[in-house]
Homo-oligomer: A and B are copies of this chain.
């Protein structure tokens, strides 16, 4: 039977920050929820765009092309190859989309392990 993914229920299952959790897949992409708090390191993804939709809270994505402020119901797609760093002003809850296997830090050596919940 098909089952809805309730994003708030998924977000209630964990407390860690910067640790994306896979909730479903779309073609070859992971659909993930993540909790941000504070600053993530500057990085890029040479092979893929990077999708951010804020569900709760307030983030700024600093990029080499300028900064973008996102609040709930706002999204931004960082183009592939563009250096960027998300910063959360307090805890923020975000829907992320990245290709399956893409390191969230841009570098497999420092990437979080993405677990399905």
Contacts and interface: CB of A to CB of B under 8 A. Distances in A.
B68 A24 contact: no
Measured as residues with beta carbon below 8 angstroms from the partner, the interface class of chain A is 35 or more
Nearest to A74: B4
A117 interface: no
A74 to B, nearest CB: 4
Question: Chain A interface mostly helix, strand, loop or mixed?
Answer: strand
Interface stretch (A36-44, A47-55, A103-111): A47-55
A26 B8 contact: no
Contact of A65 (B1, B5, B8, B68): B1
A70 interface: yes
B74 A6 contact: yes
A75 B1 contact: no
Given A26-B49, A31-B51, A51-B31, A5 B74 contact: yes
A104 to B, nearest CB: 16
Given A73-B7, A73-B8, A77-B31, A61 B26 contact: no
Contacts of A25: 49, 77
B6 A73 contact: yes
